Structure 1
Amino acid sequence: MSRIYLSLILLLAALGWSAPAMASGDFGCSTSWKLKHRDMTGCDNMAILSPGNDTRVNLVLLIGRGAPKQGLTPPDSAAKPGALFDWAMFAGYNYSGPETTAYLNYANGEGSRCLSNHLGADDFVAAVEAERKVPQRDRDELVRARRALQPSCAGAAGAAPIAQSIQSPRGKLFERYLSGAAAFYAGDYDAAATVFRSLAGADQSWIAETARYMLARVEVNRAQVDAFDEYGSPKEGFSAQAGIIDAAEANLRDYLRAYPQGRYSNSARGLLRRVYWLGRRTDKLVAEYVALFRLAPEKRGIDTADLAQEVDNKLLPLLTTANTTDPILLAVIDLARMRGPDSDKPTDCCGTPLTLDELQAQRAHFSGNPALFDYLLAAHALFVDNRPADVLRLIPDAARQRVFDYFQFSRQMLRGVALEQSRDRNARGFWVEMLPGATLPFERPALELALALHDERSAGLERIFAKESPVRAPDIREILLKNVAGPQLLRRQASDGSISRHERGVALATLLYKEMGHGLYQDFLDDLKSVPANAPVEGSLYDFAATNDPPLGVFLKPGNMGDYGCATFRQTMMTLAKAPRDVTARLCLAEFMRANNFDQSEFDRQPPADQLGGTQSLFPGQPYSRLEVYKSIIADPQAPARGKAYALYRAINCYAPNGRNECGGTDVPRAQRKAWFSRLKNDYPTSQWAQDLRYYW
């Protein structure tokens, strides 16, 4: 498991926080390839402040101040930033690694106090080894004893390790600290507090600081006793005692006053936020987060992605526009309140739909950030009221910039969408002018999507696939190849050695599938010669876009196929090239489609008109449907009896086993399927298929 995902999982699992209701489901959604996203799905996040974004993404765009200085490699180094992304992908580009947040994991892991044992052991050993006033024999014994401390917070406390025969005064300080650590991990908070309190004034610097920090951790753990259920989720109605919360806050503040830049200061601040969360002290929790927002990312002591995750879980469920005046938090809430009715759980976060009057009433809170307020007004105009002219008035043209931060980029992208919606003739030039400044992850692909959408609807695909085209994102190009491109462009791309092997494979797979299904049989045979003899066979053309080599070998499979006694696929296609109405060959092509799960193929599913690839396909002919083939043969008075019987059998089975048509084409009512069943049984009673078929659906 990558360290990034481990961090995010710990943040949810070890903390015992439930999944954020305001963020996204992140499961089972499909991507909508367009620029304007009002509904949140979890798949359609963009580097544009938008109602359709996950609230965590919007928060990172507002507080990230550009890309982090560390760790720009995502969890999967093969995964490139795209125009549309989910939270996990985006978080990977805003996470600098556990080295920067090692002690913050104490804050993240207080749902299980034992989570910090490993780091605590390493620190103890390092401190002992560095203490020259402790003899080597004592150091060895102390290290042995600390390594022997292996607590299990889920079970009964084991015997505390004993450091034997420690003689040196400094060694005895470490020995006493070790007894406090053992009590802490055993859940004996009174004993642990007594030990750590006695060591807070020790004359050994590591012990003095760590004891004071651990004294605060003791109180934090007291505050969350019985707070979580067996699954690590907060218990409904739990409220920590005010006195315990006060004690935890006081001890954390005491540590931070004594060690404002101490080795545990970042963790202490994280624990302080946790204490406020446990105590439902929302005002103080807001103040802590606002203070973090105002710091440069490298000064926060927490990665931007982790901070966004924490805010999303800890704060947003408690927050409305009525109990905060911070412009960053207001912006996140306001954008969520602009979501449409089809959003994933739109009412779980942030309040009712936002009216313009409510938004205008917040103006005073944005006095220090008027550009952000103007952006929110523009977003409301575009996403809610559909008034692109207002966007153009609120956001001036600033397309030519050396570098866009995410907020500047969002402003100009919103203006560009308004230009497109207004059918402004300068829209394409605006996108092109933005390209040089789109240097942060996810910015350039968003612009390429904008250009592809524009050119698809104005200049056609030739400009997009020209040698000098700025549209280079593979997913964008391949969507257009699969959904819009005609035979000539597909054939050209399939043979162009200057483009990626994957794009060539996508073009050839699309070309062959559509020639086969749209009745261009001789063209299919001619283009089949371009398939390498060693082309991969395994895999499905449904998911080939995720592989380096589409399984083009499926078109070269030798041997007979299907249940009708067909010849090889190549021979079938040769027959169709000479006699397109040949019943046996048509049924055998249908068998090939069925055997390879090509029914209702993605190649034949046109995206919605407002999305990339949503314009009319340039490929001649109609999408293939097995059901329509069977209907045609059933209705053909010249079709042989064996062919009719098999067509009836397969047409009925298109609805097996749940009554839903899986073969494409125009649906037929259940009464028609019953009539087919009766006809098969009555007209062809001796056929194998009449005898095999027992039901209709």
Structure 2
Amino acid sequence: MRRVGWKWVVGAGLLASSSVALACSDIGCEMSWNLFSGSYSCANRIAIGPGNDSRVNLFLLASDSAGQGLAATSYPKAEWEEEGFGQVFLDWQMLQNAIAPLPDDAERGYSGVMSRCDHLDAGAVAFNEALGAAKGLPAEEKAALIATRGSIGQSCKSDAVPVQWPTAIKSSAGWAFLGYLRASDAFYADNWDEARNGFSALRGAKEPWVAETAAYMLVRTEMAASQNKALDEYGYYTGLKGIDQAAVARAAQALGDYRKAYPQGRYAASAAGFERRVLWLAGNFDALGRQYESMLTARPVQDAQGLELVQEIDNKFLFNPDIEKPHGGGPMVLAAADLVAMRTVIDESGEVFEKPSLTAEDLASQQLAFATRPDLYAFVQANHAFYVAKDYRRVLALLPDDSHRPSYTPLAFSRQVLRGQALAALGDRNEAGFWRDLLNGATGLWQRPMVELGLTLNYERHGRLAEVFAAGSPVTRFELRDILLTHSAGAGLLRQVAGGGASAKERDRALYLLLYKQLSRGLYGDFLGDLAKVPTDAPWPAGEGTEAAQAALFSKGKVSDGFACGALGSTARTLASNAADPRALLCLGEFWRLNGYDGPQEQDRNPPAADLGGAVQEFAGAPLTRGAIYARVLASKSAGGEERAYALYRSVMCYAPSGYDGCGGTEVSVAQRKAWFNQLKAQFPKSPWAKKLRYYW
């Protein structure tokens, strides 16, 4: 779980750096189909906002600062947990895959999570090359040193055996390399004094590789020693109080010595990273923030190294448990921290767990820090006005209309989306026109789908559903149109789209929804009229899950497996004449049971009112459940013995084998199930259903 607001929810190990999404990866991600970004979510929007993953925000801010949009020009392939995103939502993984795609069989790692032991084998090649370049090193000593190099670091291995140190080393070069191996073995064994003394003594070695590498390893030794008491028994970081600051000071001195002696050395890039780590371990977070800001400004983030830098900043600065409130640094880092502090944290029950912690006074005190970026400061203020103060008119004052550009950088786009949200919150009559204007410049990845979402929400709220599906509609995303068909559209619109939708997929989907809602809500005559529109050559069975096969269910689906029923059309025809006909009702129940319609269906669940599909439900009524069907038949005076026996049997079987109702309707007690069971056995003992039923649940 990620830290939310300014508080640290779960401690992170000192070496752990990957921020974990709030949603469980094994159940995918459920999106809220709206523009609101006030609470952290597994699904991000391309517009910068408090609810986004802070890494996504920071990446977009850094890209904007460099005057860039996204370097990627095509959407990455969605992982299974991202399949519902369409091209409206994204997550950090998806953004990384768009910017720096990996080969199909590769996994994305992060170098910051490596422990000392992870480096043990990586240096073997360099060590062997250095041996090969050494002058005056006999071949037999070289072979002995190579063999010894393969056996050091036994503390890192589960099958550790004592190191057999060579005794026949005579040359000065050999002694230098052997001394390096002894110091390295002490390093991996957490024997800091021996490692420190060994590497210090080798900094003046005549072998260039040994001298430089020893100077570098002295930095690593002191940094590792400084953290020796900062990890608890489970390997989790306990905070700055556990850091040995004397060792940090020695690391800083050793690092300065190395960079002065080897400004272009073989470890120069790593040493630059160590400079940031020394600042982190020393608790010098103002300087660390300034360095991060400088790095974001100095280099583009549109590559793997840039993504890794963003990841590091997120962990070491934005979510550092030792920083009560991130400050210092520059406008980008501060803005990213401010957005996190504006989040409202919602718990699993939907209750507010934590309110935004950034106050108006906090924000006002930051004016000088944003002096070089007034546009970014205004954006941060506007987010506070929208998500915290709920002052939507102030948002409009801070973010002027700029909806006619031919294209947008990430921040410019985010400013306009937030303005559109404020217009929506105020019920401004020009909101729809604003979104239509913004569409023209929303050319970057994920931008147009987000603007389409804003426009579609407006159309739904204002009773303009038909405009979404009209010829030439600016709403082109199938996912958005499908949500309206699934939850909002009435019979007339579904019928219209079924006859002339934008694609065969959409037409088939509309026909399926129309038939399902008619049949489940008792509109049997209407159902019969539209059933004829299912093509006779529609694919079946529906194993492929295509929309055409969904519609074919009503003409080709299974209708019976023991209780005699005719075709579904015949059942509907009977119900159209007499909606209380017991046998036809039971056959309708058989159709639902045999075709997998037990339990709530997506098309019957109303989204939250603020989400797309939640403002309007033009198709009235609730579906007739199997449980309600059986109750009707048992209450019917016209039901015959066979119908009554089957209704009793199925009423009991609704609870098999879990003891929970699987048919919908009103759940009943075990005593009622027992009464049904006894009634079936007593009144209809010769019925096949009485003979078949052995338990009640």
Counterpart code for 1:450: G
Judge conservation of contact 2:317–2:323 (CA < 8 Å) in 1: no
Worse-matched range after superposition: 140-149 or 284-293: 140-149
Counterpart code for 2:36: K
CA positional deviation for 1:636: 2.3
Q: 1:84 aligns with which of 86, 89, 96?
A: 89
CA positional deviation for 1:197: 3.3
SS at match of 1:359: helix
Percent identity, aligned pairs only, is 33
- Report what 2:7 is aligned to: none
Matched, 1:119 2:119: no
Matched, 1:642 2:642: yes
Unaligned runs of 5+ in 2: 1-10
Q: How does 1:605-620 map to 2 (within 5 A)?
A: 605-619=605-619
- Report what 2:3 is aligned to: none
Q: How does 1:8-19 map to 2 (within 5 A)?
A: 16-17=15-16
Q: 2:516 aligns with which of 490, 513, 518?
A: 513
Judge conservation of contact 1:93–1:441 (CA < 8 Å) in 2: no
CA positional deviation for 1:149: 6.3
Judge conservation of contact 1:515–1:523 (CA < 8 Å) in 2: no
Q: How does 1:263-342 map to 2 (within 5 A)?
A: 263-278=266-281, 280-298=283-301, 302-304=305-307, 307-308=310-311, 310-312=313-315, 315-316=318-319, 317-321=321-325, 324=328, 326-340=330-344, 342=346
Q: 1:365 aligns with which of 360, 366, 369?
A: 369
Counterpart code for 2:88: A
SS at match of 2:476: coil
- Partners in 2 of 1:92 and 1:192 — Cα distance? 41
Q: 2:388 aligns with which of 384, 389, 397?
A: 384
Unaligned runs of 5+ in 1: 1-11, 539-543
- Partners in 2 of 1:270 and 1:655 — Cα distance? 62
- Partners in 2 of 1:470 and 1:288 — Cα distance? 45
Judge conservation of contact 1:220–1:275 (CA < 8 Å) in 2: yes
- Report what 1:537 is aligned to: 543
SS at match of 2:231: coil
- Partners in 2 of 1:548 and 1:135 — Cα distance? 76
SS at match of 1:639: coil
- Partners in 2 of 1:548 and 1:142 — Cα distance? 68
Judge conservation of contact 1:480–1:613 (CA < 8 Å) in 2: yes
- Report what 2:245 is aligned to: 242
Question: Structure 1 residues 378, 235: CA separation in 2 closer, same or farther (over 3 Å shift)?
Answer: closer
Q: How does 1:3-402 map to 2 (within 5 A)?
A: 16-17=15-16, 24-26=22-24, 30-40=30-40, 42-65=41-64, 66=68, 69=71, 74=76, 76=78, 82-93=87-98, 107-109=112-114, 112-124=115-127, 153=156, 155=158, 157-160=160-163, 177-178=180-181, 180-201=183-204, 206-229=209-232, 231-235=234-238, 239-260=242-263, 262-278=265-281, 280-298=283-301, 302-304=305-307, 307-308=310-311, 310-312=313-315, 315-316=318-319, 317-321=321-325, 324=328, 326-340=330-344, 342=346, 353-402=357-406
Q: TM-score, normalised by structure 2?
A: 0.78
Matched, 1:450 2:474: no
- Partners in 1 of 2:128 and 2:351 — Cα distance? 50
Judge conservation of contact 2:259–2:268 (CA < 8 Å) in 1: yes
Q: How does 1:413-562 map to 2 (within 5 A)?
A: 413-458=417-462, 460-466=464-470, 468-486=472-490, 499=503, 503=506, 506-507=509-510, 509-518=512-521, 519-520=523-524, 521-523=527-529, 525-529=531-535, 532-537=538-543, 561=560
- Partners in 2 of 1:87 and 1:106 — Cα distance? 17
Counterpart code for 2:643: G
Question: Structure 1 residues 122, 143: CA separation in 2 closer, same or farther (over 3 Å shift)?
Answer: same
Question: Structure 1 residues 195, 598: CA separation in 2 closer, same or farther (over 3 Å shift)?
Answer: same
Question: Structure 1 residues 385, 652: CA separation in 2 closer, same or farther (over 3 Å shift)?
Answer: farther
Worse-matched range after superposition: 594-603 or 457-466: 457-466
Matched, 1:681 2:654: no
Counterpart code for 1:83: V
Counterpart code for 2:414: S
Q: TM-score, normalised by structure 1?
A: 0.78
- Report what 2:4 is aligned to: none
CA positional deviation for 1:414: 0.6
